Amino acid sequence: MKKKKNIGIVAHDNRKKDVMEWVSFNWQQLAKHTLICTGTTGKIIEEAIQEKCEETEIVPPEVIKLKSGPLGGDQQLGAMIADGNIDILIFFWDPMQPQPHDVDVKALLRIAVLYNIPTAQNRSTADFIISSTLFHEKYEPIIKDYSGYIKREVDL
């Protein structure tokens, strides 16, 4: 993981306001990194950060917008994690609302754990991640070797 991180950001509909407030509060820290977001979340975040950057003449970060979560954006992020292209995942998901793409959400969270990606699922953990001294430093996560699991499955 380089000093400049690729940060995946996702928010369910009922949490978009929360993620926008978090991004607006932390925009100066986030401006140093690349933000990779699903659909509408990306549009909201890009607008919020660009407005702040224009006020202060700071160069806005690159905001890459993927498809909407239910249309494959969660799976795109998962693939990017598997390919080593996401360093941190900020996912404000709604625990009170069933999602039509719940399987994709679970798969994204599973792949983040599998590849040992720091993951925030609420404002508190997002605050802890962004305030960590490691946030702007080079870091090499330890990736567990799961090849033994695959072999045991085949042997059964």
Q: Which residues are catalytic?
A: 74
**CA-to-CA distance for 91 and 76, rounded, in angstroms?**
14
Of 39, 32, 44, the closest CA to residue 74 belongs to 39
3-state secondary structure (DSSP) of residue 10: strand
**CA-to-CA distance for 63 and 111, rounded, in angstroms?**
22
**CA-to-CA distance for 9 and 91, rounded, in angstroms?**
6
Q: What are the E-state strand segments in 20-103? A: 34-37, 63-65, 88-92
The overall longest dimension of the chain from CA atoms, in Å, is 62
The separation between the first and the last C-alpha atoms of the chain, rounded to the nearest angstrom, is 36
